[in-house]
Amino acid sequence: MESCMSRTCSSVIAQQSSPASIFTFLIQTLIASRCKLNNPDEYPRDRVNDVLRSNKEFDFVIIGGGTAGSILARRLTEVKNWNVLLIERGGYPLPETAVPALFTSNLGFPQDYAYKIEYQKEACLSQVDKRCRWSKGKALGGSSVINAMLHIFGNKRDYDTWENIGNPGWNYEQVLPYFRKSLSCAPEFIAKYGTDYCGTDGPMRIRHYNYTATDAEDIILEAAHEAGYDVLEPLNGDRFIGFGRAMGTLDNGQRENCAKAFLSPVKDRKNLYVMTSSRVDKILFERKRAVGVRITLDNNQSVQVRATKEVILSAGSIASPQVLMLSGIGPKNHLKKMGIPTLVDLPVGKNLQDHAIWLGIYLAYNNESVTSPPSEKSQLDDIYDYLEFNAGPLRVLPLDLNGFVDVNDPHSKYPNVQFMFVPYQRYTNNLLSLLQGYNMNDDIIQEMQQAVKKMSLISICPVLIRPLSRGFVELRNTNPADPVKIYANYFAEKEDFNNLLKSVNIVKAFLNTDILKKYNMTLYYPNISGCQHTEPGTDEYWECNLEHLSTTLFHPCGTAMMGPANDSRAVVDSRLKVHGVQNLRVIDASIMPEVTSGNTNAPTMMIAEKGADIIKQDWGVKIQI
């Protein structure tokens, strides 16, 4: 990119230049620094024109260039005589998505699909129109471009359950190698903890967040220990109840999205073809054999591309079922209603699960080190320090402290609620940015904005990681450009609501610890417009708080469930092949029979790594794992 001009020594130029030219050099330097963040030249070039000119057939066509699609394209092109086409609806990741501290600022913006779920009366009531907004990345790299970067495996019970319901090869011991395969952990981590739960030569670098701007996390971790919980070191390990610091997909002050990690190092492979800004509208079949896809390009031109071996659907838990249903694979009655001939009657779009998060619990305390709001100059200095020197607070994100508990059974080996802790120093704008990213109403934004002017806060966010409730997605119409209808059905099972509500008891137990008493930490009760009929701190208040400030953690899964053919809920088998058709697989988070107990990006990476090896095995390629 020409605007990413080469840089010379600023001190020499300063000695030889007029003030005007120094100013020009400063502007050029900042532009060049910004350009280094997700420079499109770092990624595989867009080969749309090559595809159109050659009328080429491909061995594999991958629909969706997100987390799973990026990994599949990397791994399948390792077989040199396989030509692989990766089709992504979005463009290249924007520069600002590389900055860890801007995570919440990317929610709801150009590289976010920002789906709106259908209204329900039990959740999301303080969001605009009382509807949750579900973020999903719209770029090469998918949601790994805009997520919170947490890299959490889940636990043994998660994957053993997958196998026990009829999916051989998916138990914990058999998926662990695929978690490791993706990863390159810091040498100091490997020296301390070994390689049981982290790889050394994978494409994805994960590191600790290294958040040092406040000691709030250390205080909470000490409180957890005092309350009787184990400190998990490392967090991904052989114990699943306790509190600890997660690692994230970031390194050297920048986000490591999956396209950058997996595709950039192999961007010049001749058998790798990437199309961006291209929407797959339909899978093409000859009888019941998938033979290609129909694509709409950015200029609205419609083209068809053939696949000689397989079509692989990796568009995520919302778009993958949409493409399947538009192609005639789905619930027969729903397809008939839409006027789509049914190729195979399967429960596509059913079994939708998500992790509900509660944003209504805060600890308040007086941070005497913060006495005034940051000046505009200091904020500009932070930006300059980051762009020019890769230094300062924009390098980091205070999201690494996590806890896992069973709110019903203190002796359980496995959790049903995850806790995330986010400190907000007095006067900070980060809380405002988060609430805006979640599309909260103005009244709750103003309430919390005023609160953080008066005190420092720690947001304690319980997450329901073992939901019983199930939702579904269905077509709105037959236009591929229109989003599907999403029915999250949070708390349809009352036990889900009650379990999340019980997380308040964990917080109250923390307040009884000596360490939190030492810092005079207290509960802060947000003044919620829909809860003014309740007394703060009462059971009625917390129930109302939960209904209003519960929302999504952006972890939808399960809409193309993996299971045997005799399971009426299943869409794909344990080899990830779609039941009832040939040469079509789904490989993304939609195949999860049950959502994992933690953030879902790492499990999606594992699914793609294992899926790539399954494909190689099925086509006679020897693998090593």
Catalytic residue among 225, 411, 555, 579: 555
- Does 99 show up as a binding residue in the annotation? no
For residue 531, being part of any structural domain is answered with: yes
pLDDT digits (tens, 9 = 90+) for 335-366: 999 999 999 999 999 999 999 999 999 999 99
Residue 492 belongs to some domain of the structure: yes
The domain in which residue 484 lies consists of: 104-134+216-246+355-552
User: How many folded domains does the chain comprise?
Assistant: 1
Total count of residues recorded for the chain:
625
pLDDT of residue 213: 46
pLDDT, residue 46, reads 97
Residue-wise pLDDT tens digits, 272-286: 999 999 999 999 999
pLDDT tens for 189-246 read 999 999 999 999 999 999 998 755 458 889 999 999 999 999 999 999 999 999 999 9
- d(CA 152, CA 97) in angstroms, rounded, equals 21
Average pLDDT of the chain to the nearest whole number: 93
Q: Is residue 49 included in any domain, yes or no?
A: no
Q: Which pLDDT tens digit goes with each residue over 434-452? A: 999 999 999 999 999 999 9
Is residue 33 in some structural domain? no
Total-model pTM: 0.95
Using the predicted structure, report yes or no on whether residue 31 has a pLDDT greater than 90. no
Question: How confident is the model over 359-385, as pLDDT tens digits?
Answer: 999 999 997 777 788 888 888 899 889
Res 544: pLDDT? 98
Distance CA 596, CA 574 (A): 17
How far out from the chain centre does Cα 519 lie?
34
Q: How many Å apart are CA 56 and CA 623, to the nearest integer? A: 28
Q: What is the CATH number of the domain that holds 505?
A: 3.30.560.10
Tokens linked to 400: 């690494």
CA 592/CA 160 separation, integer angstroms: 12
Say how far apart CA 43 and CA 76 lie, in whole Å.
17
Return the closest-CA partner of residue 585 out of 393, 314, 396, 317: 314
Edge-first strand order for the sheet with 150-151 is 150-151, 247-248, 204-208, 183-185
Q: What are the tens digits of pLDDT across the range 107-140?
A: 999 999 999 999 999 999 999 999 999 999 999 9
**529 domain residue, yes or no:** yes
Residue 277: how many other CB atoms lie within 10 Å: 17
Between CA 313 and CA 518 the distance in angstroms is 54
- Mean predicted confidence (pLDDT) in 53-73: 95
Looking at the domain assignment, is residue 469 inside a domain?
Answer: yes
Using CA atoms, how far apart are residues 362 and 319, in angstroms rounded to an integer? 35
Within a domain: residue 441? yes
Catalytic-residue membership of 225:
no
Q: Tell me how many degrees the CA angle 567-573-578 measures, rounded to the nearest 5.
A: 105
Query: What is the Cα–Cα distance from 350 to 477, expressed in whole angstroms?
Result: 17
Could you tell me if residue 342 is inside a domain? no
